[in-house]
């Protein structure tokens, strides 16, 4: 049967020798386009930092509030050498990461469960839909006072706030992933008599997976925003407090060091998201 | 989720001892009696989609169902596939001694493999749904994919295959469940003309080897006359069986697609069927105008 489809006769169809040159140019083009992508991604931020450095050196911007990048780097280097960076910033980072990860985990699990339930059970969708839509656009930091009353001023209220922010992102994206998955795949499951566990494991979750991952990536961003915000207003430790405290004592270079760490966390999260996507949805076209 | 073993239509009966008395035909695997399907429009008005369809499907027979587009072919197939259990009438499946086989398995018009599973896993999960034990699943997955000419692509993902190969994998998936009736809903309509003929040859060869009852829905007259042992013509609005004819391949096997089509009798059958179909298509157009 297959012979009919693949009946290329090797003696007739020879790859011409000139192809080597065109293969080289094809490989060069591919390399260049990859180089271009990475180069621009790194080059543009470096150029902007260069402009900032230059503007600071010429005196276009106030070095008190906008210290030059070299000043900030120099400060980070000195603090690292005398151990204060590892001490202060290390502790702050550790506390923030614990809040971030616990809140993120709780919010993701809750969002997945509620999102899947809303996507597959009509009663749940109709019952919770209006409530979720109404509460979603509210700035999450606005419920902090309520959480403080309910959970106290410790880590619990901060973790809860982060979890809420992540929950909405994951739940809403999971829901739309389930609702907009191909009806054909659901028909296949029905026509072949899938049991409920098989249906969830092999149809519902995989078909919603690209959207679930989008929700998780947006959730990480939310978590980062919320953890720093809540540490600004209601904490005496963590990265947010580190930044806010540096600002209050007008130690601006130190503030920029804190901001740089938040930046690196964001980049790291985005990279992990890419990695997860490549592993979990290998069939999706990029 | 419904199980394919028993589509939960209110009046569906499976091998009820007394029900078999209605038909003496021991070759029959499914009896459709007075099947009627009504849709409701947005305004709540009833719309007759299928009207009083009676049809018997026989063991080892390919029944090709043709008709103008919108005549309810797909609606009929969805009901038989267990995807729609809201109908009037009676469908009875005659399983005989073959308990454990699903009554039907479907090859859909569009590619319907799960893109997140390999070809092998796509078949495996369908067999798990039937409750097959692992050795049986492995044996059937391998043998049916080999039968479909995909023996070397067990571990491939659907997006790594050509459109024709994906559709062959869908045929293998449906056959692997060893259903009483294989339902095919315009399986090659999405393929280009040349690939379609090749696929017809390959499916023809496959059907010569497996003794399945197939209900083959198509809008292609030549395909219907090449693949079918019997051709049923459906009329539109409401959908009903207008005409049934036995095809005669004069000893040629189904995979000899061009051989069958080059006989003068084939041309006459096409013309005859076209004249009957044209009345339906024309009537349908006039009603729309």
A189 vs B48, higher pLDDT: A189
Residues of A in contact with B1 (CB under 8 A): 189-190, 193-196, 199
Residues of B in contact with A5 (CB under 8 A): 149, 164, 198
Asked if the model's pLDDT at residue A107 lies above 90, the reply is yes
Distance CA B87, CA B105 (A): 20
Asked if the model's pLDDT at residue B257 lies above 90, the reply is no
Distance CA B79, CA B62 (A): 18
Query: Nearest CA to CA, how far is A186 from chain B (Å)?
Result: 10
In a domain, A80, yes or no: no
Asked if the model's pLDDT at residue A6 lies above 70, the reply is no
Position A12 scores a pLDDT of 57
- Binning pLDDT at 50, 70 and 90, where does residue A102 land? very high
CATH of the domain at A161: 1.10.3720.10
- Binning pLDDT at 50, 70 and 90, where does residue B35 land? confident
Tell me whether B157 touches chain A (CB under 8 Å). yes
In a domain, A201, yes or no: yes
Asked if the model's pLDDT at residue B96 lies above 70, the reply is no
- Binning pLDDT at 50, 70 and 90, where does residue A2 land? very low
Nearest to B1 among A4, A199, A282 (CB): A199
Contact yes or no for B116 and A209 at CB 8 A:
yes
Strands B240-246 and B230-235: antiparallel
What value, to the nearest 5°, has the Cα angle with vertex A155 and ends A151 and A161? 70
Tell me whether B190 touches chain A (CB under 8 Å). no
Task: Establish whether this prediction's ipTM goes over 0.85.
Answer: no
Distance CA A262, CA A268 (A): 10
Among residues B248, B180, B222, B231, the alpha carbon closest in space to that of B55 is found at B231
Query: Nearest CA to CA, how far is B262 from chain A (Å)?
Result: 20
Nearest to A191 among B4, B130, B158 (CB): B4
Residues of A in contact with B115 (CB under 8 A): 283
Residues of A in contact with B128 (CB under 8 A): 198
- Binning pLDDT at 50, 70 and 90, where does residue A4 land? very low
Structure tokens given for A238: 């963590």
What value, to the nearest 5°, has the Cα angle with vertex A14 and ends A9 and A18? 165
Q: Residue A250: CA atoms inside 13 Å, Cβ hemisphere, count?
A: 3
Q: Which domain holds residue A212?
A: 102-236+265-280
Residues of A in contact with B166 (CB under 8 A): none
Query: pLDDT tens, A205-251?
Result: 999 999 999 999 999 999 999 999 999 888 788 889 999 988 888 88
Distance CA A61, CA B159 (A): 54
Residues of A in contact with B158 (CB under 8 A): 283
Structure tokens given for A64: 């008190």
Contact yes or no for B3 and A184 at CB 8 A:
no
Residues of B in contact with A4 (CB under 8 A): 198, 201-202
- Which chain A residue has the Cα nearest residue B202? A1
Q: Residue B87: phi, psi to the nearest 5?
A: -150, 165
Listed in sequence order, the DSSP H helices in chain A are 2-5, 19-58, 69-82, 84, 90-120, 122-135, 144-151, 155-179, 183-191, 196-199, 205-233, 238-248, 252-280
- By percentage, how much of chain B surpasses pLDDT 90? 9
In a domain, A219, yes or no: yes
Contact between A243 and A259 under an 8 Å Cβ cutoff? The reply is yes
Q: A1-15, A34-48, A133-147: which range is least confident on average?
A: A1-15
Asked if the model's pLDDT at residue B157 lies above 50, the reply is yes
Position A237 scores a pLDDT of 86
Of B44-53, B120-129, B183-192, B216-225, highest mean pLDDT: B120-129
- By percentage, how much of chain A surpasses pLDDT 70? 94
Statement: the pTM of the whole predicted model exceeds 0.80: no
Q: What is the mean pLDDT of residues B219-223?
A: 83
Residues 208-267 of A with CB under 8 A from B: 209
* Average pLDDT over chain A, rounded to an integer: 87
Position B285 scores a pLDDT of 60
Tell me whether A190 touches chain B (CB under 8 Å). yes
In a domain, A147, yes or no: yes
Tell me how many domains chain A contains. Answer: 1
In a domain, A241, yes or no: no
Contact between A227 and A239 under an 8 Å Cβ cutoff? The reply is yes
Asked if the model's pLDDT at residue B233 lies above 80, the reply is yes
Contact yes or no for B202 and A192 at CB 8 A:
no
Position A119 scores a pLDDT of 92
In a domain, A144, yes or no: yes
Contact yes or no for A202 and B117 at CB 8 A:
yes
In a domain, A163, yes or no: yes
In a domain, A57, yes or no: no
Query: Nearest CA to CA, how far is B24 from chain A (Å)?
Result: 29
B164 vs B282, higher pLDDT: B164
Asked if the model's pLDDT at residue B4 lies above 70, the reply is no
């Amino acid at each position: 049967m297959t012979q009919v489809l693949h009946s290329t006769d090797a003696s007739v169809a020879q790859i011409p020798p000139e192809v080597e040159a065109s293969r080289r140019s094809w490989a060069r083009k591919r390399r260049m386009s990859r180089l271009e992508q990475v180069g621009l991604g790194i080059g543009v931020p470096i150029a902007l930092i260069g402009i900032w450095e230059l503007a600071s050196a010429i005196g276009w911007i106030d070095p008190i509030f906008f210290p030059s990048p070299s000043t900030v780097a120099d400060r980070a280097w000195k603090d690292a050498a005398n151990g204060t960076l590892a001490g202060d910033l290390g502790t702050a980072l550790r506390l923030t990461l614990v809040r971030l990860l616990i809140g993120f985990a709780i919010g993701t699990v809750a969002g997945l469960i509620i999102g899947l339930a809303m996507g597959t059970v009509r009663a749940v969708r109709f019952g919770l839909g209006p409530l979720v839509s109404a509460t979603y656009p509210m700035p999450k930091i606005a419920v902090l006072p309520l959480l403080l009353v309910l959970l106290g001023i410790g880590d619990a209220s901060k973790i809860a706030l982060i979890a809420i922010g992540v929950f909405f992102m994951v739940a809403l994206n999971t829901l739309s992933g389930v609702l907009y998955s191909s009806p054909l795949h659901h028909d296949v499951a029905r026509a072949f008599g899938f049991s409920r566990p098989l249906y969830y494991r092999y149809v519902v979750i995989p078909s919603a997976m690209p959207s679930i991952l989008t929700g998780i990536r947006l959730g990480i961003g939310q978590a980062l925003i919320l953890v720093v915000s809540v540490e600004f207003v209601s904490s005496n430790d963590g990265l947010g407090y580190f930044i806010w405290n540096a600002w209050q004592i007008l130690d601006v270079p130190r503030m920029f060091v804190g901001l740089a760490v938040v930046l690196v966390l964001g980049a790291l999260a985005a990279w992990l998201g890419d990695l997860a996507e490549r592993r979990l949805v290998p069939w999706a076209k990029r | 989720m419904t199980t394919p073993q028993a589509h939960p239509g209110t009046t569906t009966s499976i091998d009820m001892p007394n029900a078999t008395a209605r038909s003496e035909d021991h070759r029959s695997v499914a009896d459709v009696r007075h099947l009627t399907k009504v849709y409701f429009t947005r305004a709540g008005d009833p719309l007759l989609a299928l009207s009083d369809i009676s049809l018997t499907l026989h063991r080892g027979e390919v029944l090709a169902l043709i008709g103008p587009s919108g005549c309810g072919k797909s609606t009929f197939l969805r009901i038989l596939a267990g995807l729609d259990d809201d109908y009037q009438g009676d469908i009875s499946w005659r399983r005989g001694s073959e308990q454990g086989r699903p009554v039907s398995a479907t090859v859909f018009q569009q590619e319907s493999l799960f893109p997140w599973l390999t070809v092998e896993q796509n078949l495996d999960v369908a067999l798990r749904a039937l409750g097959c034990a692992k050795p049986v699943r492995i044996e059937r997955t391998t043998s049916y994919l080999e039968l479909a000419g995909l023996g070397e692509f067990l571990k491939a993902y659907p997006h790594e295959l050509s459109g024709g190969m994906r559709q062959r994998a869908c045929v293998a998936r449906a056959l692997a469940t060893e259903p009483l009736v294989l339902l095919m809903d315009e399986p090659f309509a999405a393929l280009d003309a040349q690939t379609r003929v090749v696929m017809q040859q390959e499916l023809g060869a496959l059907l010569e080897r497996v003794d399945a009852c197939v209900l083959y829905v198509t809008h292609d007259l030549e395909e219907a006359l090449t693949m079918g042992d019997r051709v049923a013509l459906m009329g539109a609005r409401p959908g009903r069986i207008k005409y049934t004819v036995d095809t005669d391949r004069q000893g040629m096997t189904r995979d000899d697609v061009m051989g069958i089509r080059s006989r003068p009798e084939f041309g006459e059958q096409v013309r005859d069927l076209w004249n009957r179909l044209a009345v339906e298509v024309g009537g349908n157009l006039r009603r729309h105008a």
